[in-house]
Amino acid sequence: MTPKTRVVSVFIVDTLLDDLNNLMNHRAYTIDGVQDQIITLHEELMLLTSSIEDVVSVSQTKTKVEEIVMGIVDIAYEIDYVINSFPPVWYLTLRLPQFMESSRLNRIAIKEMQKNIDVGIPEAIKYPSEQELPPPNSEDIFVGFKNEETKIVGQLVGGLNKLQIVTIFGMPGLGKTSLAKKLYNNESIVYHFDKRAWCVVSQTYQTTNMLIELLRSTSHINKEKIKKMDEESLVEELYKSLKGRRYLIVMDDIWDTEPWNDLKRYFPDDSTGSRILFTTQHKEVGVQASPNSVINKLPFMSEAECWELLQRKVFEKENCPPELLDIGKQVAKNCLGLPLAVVVIAAVLANMEKKVYLWQGIVGSLNSLIYEDSNNCIQILELSYKHLPAHLKPCFLYFGVFDAYKKIPVRKLISLWIAEGFIKKEANRHPEDVAKGYLMDLIDRSLVLVVEKRSDGGVKTCNIHDLLHGMCLRIAKVQKLSEGDGKTCWRTCVLLVRPQGLGLVTLGLGILLSN
């Protein structure tokens, strides 16, 4: 049985290097006459591994990188198969030079790519922080999160007098920014703070643009004059405008602590009860920014809240016709608590005739409608994948192998990750512990959901939201990793014949096939 997706990771090369070491140290009698070639191949693969990770982490040419990585993985599986099949020496004499040549060509391609990265200038991408942004307002329809709103208002206006960070984190599309806007315009907040300012950070940010956004809200300087200031002048004016005041700064869509580290020294702490509000997908952003941070995890909306939002988006101030009530609630239920999904589907329904049979056609095709949305809302979700470090991408994509909605036992998942070669070998750490760290990182990034916990507090079962599951399959298809490429079966054969860790690999493979 071929899995639904083919997910690759260069960490399989680590396993291959271990096998070559085992071959040279414990089975040398099987390679009499080709020891030098085996040693050379080992050295070549070591060089290849050390260079590929640097390119993966900084390259803008994603397609080319993925092509090279996939080629390296295929070579690794083929070498692994050959050396563990106990072939005659004459066969190794033929194949080893081919393997070394393939590895050498890949290393040359990586070097060329590295040169292009070093000298090339990536195409400028225009992010929201570089655009003219209107101040946040609360005119948009906002539903749900009443308890969270009340709690966070209390955190912002109460608590410590010293400057404090308050964080809202959760899955992409969950409504973090909408809640932050609601808070920003809350009467208690407006009354409590002398100054309020909002800046959008995003994945790629420019400090100057953020300073301009903040200064526009905190000073009376003409906007055109602000735009002409250099960074030193912007910093000076921002600090002066906030000095001695009680202020609220919202840093929306912050992905890591670097933007905060760049700006924090420009926010005076005069023990006036000032606050910094983060919205982020990654829990660790707030934790790492300050030991005194207050962390708020945004929950999914209830079915009733999804229906209320859908109804207000589709019918505005009118009530839903009785004949559409049941089917409308089913559509809302199928959005699985994600406001992003509700908003996109509501836009589709609002432009449809209000007919029961038409709405019934929507129930089973929510994912396809969202992916076809002309506003490209799905890009909000895909940004989360693009921002993942290289070692987490294959682990996350692998969730596409499982059925949607299915509870996935963590032990099974970790066994499969290890069997697939996704887990990097670390000195003095067991692979299961490294894999658990990967899983917790994905959970903290709001991409993986905890379904059940063990009695000791560990994660027992997990899954991902249906939209993210669809995204995994979509990315796999775009990257030409979907079923039918003929290589997954090859990898399965390789796993079957591996002697090292055979029990674990066979177990992982059996679990996969059972699905």
pLDDT tens per residue across span 398-414: 998 888 778 899 999 99
The pLDDT assigned to 424 comes to: 84
Domains annotated for the chain, with CATH where assigned, are 12-121+383-514 (no CATH), 145-297 (3.40.50.300), 303-375 (no CATH)
Share of residues in the chain with pLDDT > 90 (%): 22
- Lowest-pLDDT choice from 114-128, 252-266, 271-285, 465-479: 114-128
Between these two residues, 43 and 494, which has the higher pLDDT value? 43
Could you tell me if 270 and 244 are in contact, meaning their C-beta atoms sit under 8 angstroms apart? yes
The pLDDT assigned to 507 comes to: 36
β-pair partners for 198: 250
Between these two residues, 133 and 381, which has the higher pLDDT value? 381
Between these two residues, 297 and 5, which has the higher pLDDT value? 297
The whole-number average pLDDT for the span 263-267 is 91
- Nearest 5°: phi and psi at 374? -70, -20
The pLDDT assigned to 492 comes to: 34
The pLDDT assigned to 198 comes to: 92
Q: What is the pLDDT of residues 212-225, one digit of tens each?
A: 889 888 888 888 88
pLDDT of residue 496 exceeding 50: no
- Lowest-pLDDT choice from 93-107, 126-140, 318-332, 342-356: 126-140
When pLDDT is cut at 50, 70 and 90, the band that residue 141 belongs to is low
For 490, other C-beta atoms within 10 Å of its C-beta total 14
The pLDDT assigned to 66 comes to: 64
The pLDDT assigned to 31 comes to: 65
Share of residues in the chain with pLDDT > 70 (%): 70
The pLDDT assigned to 503 comes to: 36
Quick one: which of 259, 324, 318 has its CA closest to 289?
A: 259
When pLDDT is cut at 50, 70 and 90, the band that residue 316 belongs to is confident
pTM, two decimal places: 0.69
CA 379 to chain centre: 12
**Average pLDDT, rounded, for the chain:** 76
pLDDT of residue 201 exceeding 60: yes
When pLDDT is cut at 50, 70 and 90, the band that residue 156 belongs to is very high
- Lowest-pLDDT choice from 38-52, 184-198, 216-230, 239-253: 38-52
Tell me the DSSP string of 357-382.
HHHHHHHTTHHHHHHT-TT-THHHHH
Q: Are strands 459-463 and 408-409 parallel, antiparallel or unpaired?
A: antiparallel
The pLDDT assigned to 426 comes to: 82
The pLDDT assigned to 172 comes to: 85
Quick one: which of 209, 193, 200 has its CA closest to 245?
A: 193
pLDDT of residue 483 exceeding 50: no
Q: Tell me, letter by letter, the H, E, C secondary structure of 256-321.
A: CCHHHHHHHHHCCCCCCCCEEEEEECCHHHHHHHCCCCEEEECCCCCHHHHHHHHHHHHHCCCCCC
Quick one: which of 247, 243, 244, 191 has its CA closest to 217?
A: 247
Q: What is the pLDDT of residues 364-422, one digit of tens each?
A: 666 666 666 545 566 777 778 888 888 888 899 899 888 877 889 999 999 999 888 88
Residues 6+ positions from 461 with CB-CB distance below 8 Å: 407, 408, 409, 410, 451, 452
- Lowest-pLDDT choice from 109-118, 347-356, 438-447, 468-477: 109-118
d(CA 464, CA 445): 12
The pLDDT assigned to 165 comes to: 95
When pLDDT is cut at 50, 70 and 90, the band that residue 252 belongs to is very high
Residues making up the chain, counted from first to last: 515
